[in-house]
Amino acid sequence: MPDAQTLQPQAVSAPGKVFVAGGYLVLDRKYTALVFGLDARIYVEIEPIQTRSGVTLSEIIVRSPQFLDAAWEYGYRLTEGDGGIAVTQLRVSHASSLNKNPFIETALTFALTYISTLQPTRIAPSNISILADQAYYSNPGKPLTSSSRFLNFDVTLPDAHKTGLGSSAALVTAFTAVVLSYYLPKKAFSLDTDAGKRVLHNLAQASHCAAQGKVGSGFDIASAVYGSCLYRRFSPALLSSLPTPGSPLFAKTLKSLVEDEGGMWDVEIAKAKVKMPRGLRLVMCDVDCGSQTPGMVKKVLKWREENREAADAIWDKLQKGNEAFAAELTRLATEEGENVGKEKYAKLKDTIVSNRALIREMSKASGVPVEPPQQTALLDACSAVEGVVGGVVPGAGGYDAIVLLLEDKEETIQALRKVVEGWKADSEGEVTIGKVGILGVREDMVGVRREDVEIYKERTTS
């Protein structure tokens, strides 16, 4: 493995996501989900730690300069019994407390362990920096420097208010990608190849699930790696045989899983089935009223278990509607110039309306506010704006966001802005939604990508 004198700085970014269709359905392999990547990205840069001649370090320092006290120092060592690389967080001083970050620590553990199975020599020390685009957080901030696009939020990470764009998945994906790109030669790993992306996807899925303490559907990692796509989840049992880091045979089992030696990865990721027609775009609106997604998911799944026939009837119709939505987007993207005029998006609009009706039916039957009345009123008002095709409550639903599909025209955006900025919803029940704001994001068809290190540095330093 190269030493710190020959390793070259690397930078990688990964996009956020918005779950446009297939919420809840994505938990079952029978169904698919439509996920769009967003142009809000998380950037990770890595470079050598230069040491004096004869000085040997086994240390990796990770910093997130946009937040207070966001620095983590890790020591690492190769364990016995093929247990992989053990990563241990170090204290900066005896007086300081350990500020744990399970996503960074787990991603580092999994990435270094996989690297050790390919090149079992000493891993050189490095500095890693993480930066996030403004749209991931609703906290106000000031530019890090006069020329930087990144904000200093002046809060600790636990005090940062996320906007729900999939920051943890984008972080794990970009972090894993940059570490692999840095320590491995291109013949062993490259983001420019399909094989490299498959390795990254599988490794990021494994570490993200481990950091969360559960096996999720994985759509957020898939969109971080591949961008906008139609997604069918992998079987949850796939990760059940993976030992805990440091335990016997963890490294060997992880390598086999990541490289899919047994052909077990049954995930389906179809990029070609999702396209955005020229002249249309996505807009996300942040709503000042949060949802408890895990609790909502549990309630919906319980309702489905107790009412299987009725629930599956709704889900089957939603699946057909979601497929029709993706197909119509792709048709419009590939048949430019046809059906010019107001009727051009009629089928797309009708499909969105039909799918929303099914979601409200599921809301009523399950007692879970997937599209609650407050959001119905907001979506209806936005959909009435000239140039807006329609919108949905993304992901698991609730009160905290909406996503709209609209014509990519400045007059449409301005008309929409007037509606949402002056929005006042009637109070229904115990929930009142507050301020609604348009997030500065749009769709991005591209997933993880390499960044120019010099451009990256210009963004972060004056």
What does the H/E/C string look like for 232-280? ECCCHHHHCCCCCCCCCCHHHHHHHHHCCCCCCCCCEEECCCCCCCCCE
What is the rounded CA–CA span in Å between residue 228 and residue 19? Answer: 10
Nearest to 83 by CA among 249, 206, 258, 255: 249
The structural domains of the chain, ordered by start, are 10-271+445-460 (3.30.230.10), 280-438 (3.30.70.890)
* 453 token code pair: 């290190």
Coil, strand or helix at 61: strand
In single-letter form, the type of residue at position 155 comes to: V
Residue 16 makes CB contacts below 8 A (sequence gap 6+) with 37, 38, 40, 41, 42, 133, 135, 136, 165, 166, 167, 170, 224, 441
* 158 token code pair: 């636990």
The pLDDT value given to residue 92: 64
The pLDDT value given to residue 157: 92
- Dihedral-angle region of residue 459 (phi above 0 means left; psi in -120 to 50 means alpha; beta otherwise): alpha
Beta partners for residue 35, in sequence order: 19, 229
Runs of H (alpha helix) within 84-193: 102-118, 167-183
What is the rounded CA–CA span in Å between residue 461 and residue 228? Answer: 31
Tell the residue number behind the tokens 């107001």, with chain if given: 342
The pLDDT value given to residue 262: 86
What is the rounded CA–CA span in Å between residue 139 and residue 143? Answer: 13
What is the rounded CA–CA span in Å between residue 119 and residue 121? Answer: 6
pLDDT per residue, tens digit, the chain (462 aa), is 555 557 899 999 999 999 999 989 999 999 999 999 999 999 999 999 876 555 566 899 999 999 999 999 999 999 999 999 999 999 765 656 678 999 999 999 999 999 999 987 789 999 999 999 999 998 888 888 777 788 999 999 999 988 889 999 999 999 999 999 999 999 999 999 999 999 999 999 999 999 999 999 999 999 999 999 999 999 999 998 899 999 999 999 999 999 999 899 999 999 888 899 999 999 999 887 755 566 899 999 999 999 999 999 999 999 999 999 999 999 999 886 555 556 899 999 999 999 999 999 999 999 999 999 999 999 999 999 999 999 999 998 998 899 999 999 999 999 999 999 888 766 555 666 778 889 989 999 999 999 988 766 655 554
Nearest to 190 by CA among 456, 367, 449, 462: 449
Beta partners for residue 63, in sequence order: 71, 129
| Residue 1: burial class (beta carbons within 10 Å; 0-12, 13-18, 19+) | middle
Report strand pairing: 151-152 vs 229-232.
unpaired
What is the rounded CA–CA span in Å between residue 139 and residue 135? Answer: 10
Beta partners for residue 127, in sequence order: 47, 61
What pTM, to 2 d.p., does this model score? 0.92
What is the rounded CA–CA span in Å between residue 218 and residue 3? Answer: 35
Nearest to 395 by CA among 251, 266, 297: 297
* 240 token code pair: 């059940």
In single-letter form, the type of residue at position 379 comes to: L
Phi, psi of 446 (to 5 degrees): -95, 135
What is the rounded CA–CA span in Å between residue 168 and residue 174? Answer: 10
* Alpha-carbon distances of 315 from 92, 307, 405, rounded to whole Å: 52, 12, 23
